[in-house]
Structure 1
């Protein structure tokens, strides 16, 4: 094509200008450039002279002309797209572009930003985005003859923004899902820019974003946290807090919530290094703090308990020691001797009860205490408990009242443990009531539950004492100040035993000095007309001298062995003693005893080994074997029976229980005699 003045609008060094000049337009609907109207020539000249991507679509078929910058957008559609219909070039996005062409040909000029288009320009489909303006092109007749477009591809920018946004969302997700709380505050007023879910939770789920700290969390300001933030802004030095106490207002107007938090205030710096805000991060450690405090309290309780245990054991030891010295003096009057003996017996019983309570608590804690339930009358349970506390009540001049609305009713309970429950409650009432007080025990049946009530007019309970009453080792100061302070496990034991029965216990008091009331409910478990099994026959009191037995006592505690031997000899029995396992076996082989009472923890052969050795002897099935040990768990009893023992007694031995075993052996011997 010749370069003459009629083609000056195609002049220039650009590739598209040269291509247009060389192009064969004879087959195009546009025809020869020499015949193009001035309006089209002007657009082409403007377009070819611009470095910005442009195209013009002219005529009924919207045949397309474009510049070098737009050729880059077309990809492999260039150069064959030159002069072809616009919607044919972009057939894969025809449905996206056709509505836009109608708008432009209708005379509308418009701008679109980041329009998504799925194009095929490099042999594959790809997602692209474009920002452009479309305008109608007016010909010489004043008609809309085509479309003029200036555009730019924003695919990279959109993808970059998407990537950035995705990263921000990922970071925001990490921020929001972080197990600890986090927030960002900016400026001297500490305006919240970010706060994750954990931070919102710890501060009561109130609106924070965009608000200064003083408006969002005024109570935090009052507690000095704003001052700490101010200091971080001023100095640029991080601030760290450990288990800091913070009161947070309840969003619904309820009482403030006390929390403990670990936190760090980290300065945030701008590009010049100036501190512009603070990154707040940390953890709500309220539960950990409470757990640690509970451990510390348990440790304090343990120390108090050990001190109390030492005190409570020394108390009975003092009169026992004094009574023993009195008995050792020559010429002591019989009345004094009897008085000293009674003191020793009472104090030993008291010490035994302390130890029994400790053992029972241990069994319950380990889930090893089993109830032995049977049908018993309510009045019999109450009578056993009253009988146990009556001597102490009489000594203090108390009146013991008994009111049994349904005393004849029967309940299925462990009678020993039920009596223990009431004895503990009555014992406390006796201890913590000043001399001359009144103590009442009531019993009735309320539907399917038996109801026991113990009341007194004693020292009462403080509100704090009522909160911790059934907690192990917890004792009120008013109780500790009295000589009968106890170990602080009695009421915890009561609660555990009641709950083992499927019942409940509660305490009430109008305050210190105004007495106390304890209520116990346990399931009846039996109909009203049920009968109580007949009491099993028991042998009480010492055996007579007319029924002697040959016995071997084996214990490495020589004093305990000697005293029990002397007691049994006074009853007429023939008693031999040994102080280790081998001696016990040799002695038994020699005297062939009727009864052996064996300590378990002996040197040489222990009690289990002695029992197995003797049972293996030809004569070994005949003797009554009794284990005497300080170990009292259920598995200890089972182990003793498995080793061949007939009975398992816990130290300190109750002589009456041993007497009962000996009486049964004598009765068996008598029945088997011809």
Structure 2
């Protein structure tokens, strides 16, 4: 036996083998000596397990595998040296003793080689060792530890899996295209969704989405491959064709990034992006809303200037003092008419604002649909008559009863009637129909006027929306009437729809309201008109609008009342203490002391307990009325109010008789 110098060779030479089943080295069989000489001269980890006890001899390359078990491991039985893995390795040694060779790659085992448990991986083979007579005497083991390689590969695979999952689950769409044919190599879930489930992997882009060829996509991909320069697309429009034939317009932000090989050549393209259709449409809607807002402001200015011009002219005429009685009557009628037009305009604006803020409270009651139509015709009738339209009213199902707020539904129907009258040439035809439609009451207003374009039907109920042909007419308006109609109908749980065959084909608007049934009652005749004599009173007017105070004072004095005037809250309180009027009509927003504070101060005085206090203000919301009541006001009227309304209020609210 040739023993190599140093390391295991020296250890093998000095070891007391006579104390082991192998006996002294001089008695070893030739096959054992030859194999020991072989492994000691090898730089690859090897061992011999000889005899029935599997006595172990190993080389220098095997020492790192043993760890702290070296050098005590030499000469031990394999079952003792590797006791913790004997259950796995014992059968393999037995198989080699039976003449069968075993080979394993990256086998996982749990070892205690350094005083603590650890997981290790080995690639190894066990082969039978034969003696001179050919009988199997031991096992020859070649073993290489692959722990670091396996751990590294698994880490790389883990990273690759993480990257794959990130690629697959990325919110933006991603794909990899290879070669000049732009063949799909990879795609993520978002890209599959973009393609609508079409099979892509291994196929050319032009075959998967042929509709993209004519939209310049293939040309762009060719350009990126040819130049090696990325392409960035921002909110670009594409048309996708679905298998069912439906076409879909979408907008994409995306990048075509070239994939460069080691030679600096572009061999593929990484596609990444996001669908931005929703953002694009939202931006377009904002731009449209901004345009409508600008159009509304310009139209509002126009609509407010229109009545102001005749009012200003009428005021100058009245200033002249040279008018005859009939001229004065005509001039004041012009002012009244134009003020009512402005008040109606402002009321509509406030109603739309309240609906938008969900501040409208419906006062529902059982009402008759025919009566609602009749009341709406009272409002819109003068305009219909002035334009000499032919009006036809049809009630298909007799009397129909429904639960609704009569004031608001009359407002809806009169709006539709006014629109029909304004946008129908003089002498046109207007038809109003009511009918039962299941459990809905349907009210339709049809005309043969200017009609609506098909595109306008979608937006006609949107705030500030107006058909172009309507803008070209003098009755253009603000474009809020139909938005108000829809808002009020929606509050009732109903629907409203517009129909038209096109420009010049007339229009039909149909309102459907729920909880409708055939009426079980008949309308009672109205009470006869009663003449009421107005009681003459002393009245305090307090408002910082001098023109309004002067006009109201003149009117009330013409009715026989005694009037004192104040320009602010403090002056009004001083006058109230001096005059002690029967009635005080007070503005809210006055300098010095506002109307709420003034009312509270008056109510604290004994002489002010029974005074009729009227809040006259431009603030007309329910909350404003509630605050006025809490401050001591008896009633609330909203500016601009008619003089008839003020007179009726004074008739209705009689001053309680004072005791004593």
TM-score normalized by the length of structure 1? 0.88
Q: Distance in 1 between matches of 2:142 and 2:206?
A: 52
Give the alignment of 1:518-597 within 5 angstroms: 518-524=509-515, 528-529=519-520, 547-597=535-585
1:615 to 587, 600, 603: 603
Instruction: Describe how 1:331-346 pairs up with structure 2 within 5 A.
Output: 337-346=328-337
Task: Say which SS state the counterpart of residue 529 (structure 1) adopts.
Answer: coil
Asked whether the 8 Å contact 1:183–1:192 carries over to 2, the reply is yes
Which residue is 1:156 aligned to? Answer: 148
How much does 1:142 deviate?
Answer: 3.9
Contact 1:14/1:68 (8 A) holds in 2:
no
Confirm or deny that 1:380 pairs with 2:371.
yes
Question: Does 2:74 align with 1:82?
Answer: yes
Contact between 1:114 and 1:154, CA under 8 Å: does it hold in 2?
Answer: yes
| Match of residue 5 from structure 1 | none
**Within 5 Å, which residues of 2 pair with 1:99-138?**
99-138=91-130
2:458 to 460, 464, 467: 467
Describe how 1:189-588 pairs up with structure 2 within 5 A. 189-209=181-201, 211-220=203-212, 222-233=214-225, 237-250=229-242, 252-253=243-244, 255-266=246-257, 269-270=260-261, 277-324=268-315, 337-406=328-397, 408-524=399-515, 528-529=519-520, 547-588=535-576
CA-CA distance at 1:661 after TM superposition: 0.8
Between stretches 628-637 and 101-110, larger displacement belongs to 101-110
- 8 Å CA contact 1:410–1:532 kept in 2: the answer is no
Q: Is contact 1:238–1:266 with CA below 8 Å preserved after alignment?
A: yes
Deviations 1:538-589, CA, capped at 9 Å, x for gaps: 978xx75x73222222222222222222222332323333322233223333
Q: CA RMSD in A?
A: 3.2
Cα deviation, residue 68, structure 1: 1.6
Deviation digits for residues 120-167 of structure 1, max 9, x if unmatched?
222222111111233333444444443323221100110111222223
- Does structure 2 retain, via aligned residues, the 8 Å contact 1:301–1:474? yes
Q: Secondary structure at the match of 2:111?
A: strand
- The CA distance in 1 between the partners of 2:215 and 2:87, in whole Å, is 64
Distance 1:151 1:222, change over 3 A: farther
**Structure 1 residues 620-635: aligned runs within 5 Å:** 620-635=608-623
> Displacement of 1:33 after TM fit?
4.1
Q: Which range is displaced more, 331-340 or 77-86?
A: 331-340
TM-score scaled by length of structure 2: 0.90
Q: Distance in 2 between matches of 1:536 and 1:588?
A: 39
User: Partner of 1:69: helix, strand, or coil?
Assistant: helix
Please give the secondary structure, in 2, of the residue aligned with 1:305.
Answer: helix
How far the C-alpha of 1:450 sits from its partner, in A, is 2.3
The 1-side partners of 2:314 and 2:224 are apart by 73
Q: Distance in 1 between matches of 2:647 and 2:619?
A: 21
Shift of 1:386: 0.9
In the alignment, the residues of structure 2 paired with residue 513 and residue 106 of structure 1 have an alpha-carbon distance, to the nearest angstrom, of: 104
The 3 A distance-change label for structure 1 pair 153 and 306 is same
Deviation at 1:23, TM superposition (A): 2.8
Partners of 1:25 and 1:634 lie apart in 2 by: 111
Question: 1:660, 1:376 → 2: CA distance?
Answer: 26
- Displacement of 1:346 after TM fit? 2.8
- For residues 328 and 400 of structure 1, do their structure 2 counterparts lie closer, same or farther at Cα, with a shift above 3 Å needed? farther
Tell whether the 8 Å contact from 1:378 to 1:406 is kept in structure 2 after alignment: no
Task: Extract unaligned runs of 5+ from structure 2.
Answer: none
Instruction: Please give the alpha-carbon distance, in whole angstroms, between the structure 1 residues aligned to 2:659 and 2:325.
Output: 42
- Where 2:606 maps in the other structure, the secondary structure is coil
CA distance in structure 2 between the aligned counterparts of 1:352 and 1:468, rounded to whole angstroms:
26
Q: 1:50 aligns with which of 42, 48, 56?
A: 42
Deviation per CA, 1:419-445, whole angstroms, max 9, x where unpaired? Answer: 001111111111222222221222234
Structure 1 counterpart SS, 2:487: helix
Q: Which runs of 5+ in 1 are unaligned?
A: 1-7
Q: How far apart, CA to CA, are the structure 2 residues paired with 1:624 and 1:526?
A: 44
